[in-house]
Amino acid sequence: MPVPKRRLSRSNTRSRRSQWKATAPALVKTVENGKVTYSLPHRAKLVEDVDGTPLYYEYKGRRVADA
């Protein structure tokens, strides 16, 4: 594992860390049966029945896993 040859100054350390920025996830808005849901693209969606009981996971209209 590489080890720095000399100690980095406090200002250099902080300026390097300040360049990292969090980004908000890109959510996709879908409306199903009058209910608005937000989900991450390219992820399996949980399908629930009317009572809210989880049934299975679905991706691109296909059943992929049991809940």
Give per-residue pLDDT as tens, 30-54: 887 888 888 888 888 888 898 989 9
Domain that holds residue 51: 40-67
User: Half-sphere exposure (CA, 13 Å, Cβ side) for 29?
Assistant: 3
Residue 3 lies in a domain: no
Distance, in Å, from the CA atom of 54 to the CA atom of 67, rounded to the nearest integer, reads: 6
Number of separate domains in the chain: 1
Q: Considering the entire predicted model, what is its pTM?
A: 0.48
Residue 20 lies in a domain: no
> Within a domain: residue 53?
yes
Position 28 in a domain: no
Report the chain's mean pLDDT, rounded to a whole number.
87
Which pLDDT band holds residue 61 (cuts at 50, 70, 90)? confident
> Nearest Cα to 50, choosing from 31, 64, 33, 29?
33
In a domain, 65, yes or no: yes
| Interacting residues of 37 by C-beta distance below 8 A, sequence separation 6+ | 29, 30, 31
